Amino acid sequence: MPKHKQAIDATTHQKIKTAARMVFHQKGYAATRTRHIAEAAGINLALLNYYFKSKEQLFNLIMLETFTELVATIKEIVTNPNTSLHQKVSNLVATYIDQLLQEPQIPLFIVSEIRNNPQILVNTLQVPNIIFQSAFARQYAQSVQNGSIAPLPIMHFLMNLLGFTVFPFIAQPMLQTIGSLTPEQFTQMMQERKQLIPKWVAALLAP
Percent of residues, the chain, with pLDDT higher than 70: 93
pLDDT digits (tens, 9 = 90+) for 174-193: 999 999 999 999 999 999 99
Q: What is the pLDDT of residue 91?
A: 96
pTM of the model: 0.78
Q: How confident is the model at residue 11 (pLDDT cuts 50, 70, 90)?
A: confident
Handedness of CA 23, 25, 27, 30 (dihedral sign): positive
At 14-71, the pLDDT tens digits run 999 999 988 988 888 888 999 999 999 999 999 999 999 888 889 888 888 888 888 8
Q: Where are the domains of the chain?
A: 1-53, 62-205
| 1-53: CATH topology | Arc Repressor Mutant, subunit A (1.10.10)
Closest by CA position to 75, among listed 92, 100, 60, 97: 92
Q: How far apart are CA 87 and CA 140, in angstroms?
A: 12
Residues contacting residue 86 through CB under 8 Å, at least 6 positions apart: 198, 201, 202
Question: What is the sign, positive or negative, of the torsion defined by CA atoms of 51, 57, 61, 63?
Answer: positive
Provide the strand spans (E) within 22-161.
none
Q: Are 78 and 131 in contact (CB under 8 A)?
A: yes
28: left (phi over 0), alpha (psi -120 to 50) or beta: left
Residue 9 pLDDT = 67
CATH assignment of 62-205? 1.10.357
Please state, for a pLDDT cut of 90, what percent of the chain lies above it: 61
Higher pLDDT, 102 or 194: 194
Asked if domains 1-53 and 62-205 share a fold, the reply is no
